[in-house]
Amino acid sequence: MSKFVNPTKVITGPSTRWSYANVWEAKSINGGTPKYSVSLIIPKTDTVTIEKINRAIKAAYEDGQSKLRGNSKFVPALGDLKTPLRDGDKERNGDPAYAGCMFINANATTAPGIVDADCNPILNRSEVYSGVYGRASISLYAFNSNGNKGIACGLNNLQKLRDGEPLGSRARAEDDFATEDDEDFLD
**The whole model's pTM is what?**
0.86
Phi/psi for 47 (5° steps) reads -65, -25
pLDDT digits (tens, 9 = 90+) for 84-115: 999 999 999 999 999 999 999 999 999 999 99
Q: What is the pLDDT of residue 170?
A: 58
- What is the DSSP-derived secondary structure letter of residue 82? B
Domains of the chain, with CATH numbers? 9-169 (2.40.50.140)
Q: Which H/E stretch holds residue 71?
A: none
Cα 16 to Cα 3: distance, rounded to the nearest angstrom: 26
Burial class (CB in 10 A: 0-12, 13-18, 19+), 143: middle
Instruction: Say if residues 106 and 86 touch (Cβ distance below 8 Å).
Output: no
Q: How many helices (H) and strands (E) does the chain have?
A: 4, 8
pLDDT along the chain (187 residues), means of 10: 82 97 93 94 98 98 93 91 96 94 97 97 94 98 91 98 85 62 51
DSSP secondary structure string, 108-131? ESSPPEEE-TTSPBP--GGGS-TT
Q: What is the pLDDT of residue 183?
A: 53
